[in-house]
Amino acid sequence: MKFWQQLLSKLEENKSVYVLTVIANSGSSPGRKGFKMLVAEDGFIFGSVGGGVMEFSLVEEVKILLKEKVKAIFLRKQIHQGNVKDSSGMICSGEQTVVFHPLNSDAISDVKNLIECLENNNNGIIKFTPNLFEFFFQKENEQPQIRINSSKDWIYEERIGNKDTLYIVGGGHVGLATSKLFNSLGFYVIVFDDRKNINTFESNGYAHKKQLISYVEIENHIKQGDNIYIAIMTNKYTDDKLVLSKTIKNNYKFIGVLGSTSKIKTMNEVLLKEGFFQDDIDRVHAPIGLSIYSQTPDEIAVSIAAQIIQLKNKFK
């Protein structure tokens, strides 16, 4: 999100910009497909295509293009291996292909639509070709295309939106810290609470969406799917149990509950007596977070993030 906001800001200032995008990579390349960097004519730089001497050289090349007002779309292959053709100057092995794409105020409408897509957690596709840059909302079952036949015959499309979504049930101090961290990790963050005038809920500027709801209806507010994560951290045991009982049988990637070991043990015993099965309880991560002896809200947020990232990336 920040990348596109920074790009929009520069375009609205009527600054010429080059967007550098990694459209292919292999081996141990430091730049991965989708990595992006923008370089503006006023010297502003944001993002990365892999760092190191390679990135420095590419940025210097862009600065010259901007100074000379050259507006050319082209590819640059970077091979991270010694003294070879198209060497990046790095020796980490692997290679990557970077597209240089000049943009000006003509792209404002597309970038605004892209940001709107991200803000609403919708799906879209950004398209780069030797002739254009554009964004369009994704149609059902439409898949991005990537084809590189030559420096003049290529297309790169990237899916925008459809992010991993974290629902935080409970807008207290831990909910605020968790929102901040997961926002920075690229999750779409939604926070629920049932209490009015809670400072940590009202001041939470990291959540993409905040809503006061009744926990009795919690399952009606949470989508199901393999990219859905739920962190339950209300201000009392009875609400934690209520939310868990309403969601435990639904299809989510992750459900976790904040609390002490003794609290979780009691909750599980009660759920079993109420007719839930051990298999239901076994899929819940409780106490939530990796055991790293977290104490503060920020530390607890780190432990939750580590556990969810571990699960999210396990089969990638």
Clarify whether residues 169 and 150 are in a common domain: no
Q: For 185-196, how does the pLDDT look when each residue is reduced to its tens digit (9 = 90+)?
A: 989 999 999 999
Strand partners, 24: 97
From 119, 134, 161, the end of a domain falls on 161
Res 123 pLDDT > 90: no
Rounded to an integer, what distance in angstroms lies between the CA atom of residue 187 and that of residue 200?
Answer: 20
The band of 290, judged by pLDDT with boundaries at 50, 70 and 90, is very high
Clarify whether residues 177 and 109 are in a common domain: no
Would you state the pLDDT for residue 162? 62
Question: Looking at residues 234-253, what average pLDDT do you find?
Answer: 95
Question: Looking at residues 173-200, what average pLDDT do you find?
Answer: 95
Clarify whether residues 153 and 49 are in a common domain: yes
Residue 227 CB partners (closer than 8 Å, separation 6+):
162, 163, 164, 165, 253
Clarify whether residues 105 and 148 are in a common domain: yes
Clarify whether residues 20 and 111 are in a common domain: yes
Residue numbers of the domain that contains 123? 2-161
Clarify whether residues 150 and 180 are in a common domain: no
Clarify whether residues 35 and 51 are in a common domain: yes
Question: Looking at residues 162-184, what average pLDDT do you find?
Answer: 94
Would you state the pLDDT for residue 279? 94
Would you state the pLDDT for residue 179? 97
Question: Looking at residues 176-203, what average pLDDT do you find?
Answer: 95
Query: What's the pTM value of the predicted model, to 2 decimals?
Result: 0.70
Clarify whether residues 18 and 50 are in a common domain: yes
Res 121 pLDDT > 70: yes
Long-range contacts of 61-70 (CB under 8 A, 24+ apart): 62/18, 62/20, 62/100, 63/39, 65/18, 65/100, 65/102, 66/16, 66/18, 66/39, 66/40, 66/41, 67/41, 69/16, 70/102
If one counts the domains in the chain, the total is 2
Q: For 19-29, how does the pLDDT look when each residue is reduced to its tens digit (9 = 90+)?
A: 999 999 888 88
Q: Which range, of 90-104, 272-286, 295-309, averages the lowest pLDDT?
A: 90-104
Clarify whether residues 233 and 105 are in a common domain: no
CA dihedral 251, 224, 158, 17 (to 10 degrees): -130
From 161, 189, 224, the end of a domain falls on 161
Would you state the pLDDT for residue 214? 96
Would you state the pLDDT for residue 28? 82
CATH code, domain carrying 273: 3.40.50.720
Question: Looking at residues 272-297, what average pLDDT do you find?
Answer: 94
Res 316 pLDDT > 70: no
Clarify whether residues 141 and 186 are in a common domain: no
What does the DSSP assignment read for 115-144? Answer: HHHHHTT-EEEEEE-SS-EEEEEPPTT---
The band of 90, judged by pLDDT with boundaries at 50, 70 and 90, is low
Would you state the pLDDT for residue 69? 92
Q: For 204-230, how does the pLDDT look when each residue is reduced to its tens digit (9 = 90+)?
A: 999 999 999 999 999 999 999 999 999
From 111, 134, 161, the end of a domain falls on 161
The band of 84, judged by pLDDT with boundaries at 50, 70 and 90, is low
Would you state the pLDDT for residue 139? 82
Cα Rg for the chain, rounded, in angstroms? 23
Clarify whether residues 152 and 174 are in a common domain: no
Would you state the pLDDT for residue 278? 95
Clarify whether residues 22 and 109 are in a common domain: yes
Query: pLDDT above 70 covers what percent of the chain?
Result: 96
CA dihedral 147, 149, 152, 157 (to 10 degrees): 10
Q: For 44-75, how does the pLDDT look when each residue is reduced to its tens digit (9 = 90+)?
A: 999 999 988 888 999 999 999 999 998 999 99
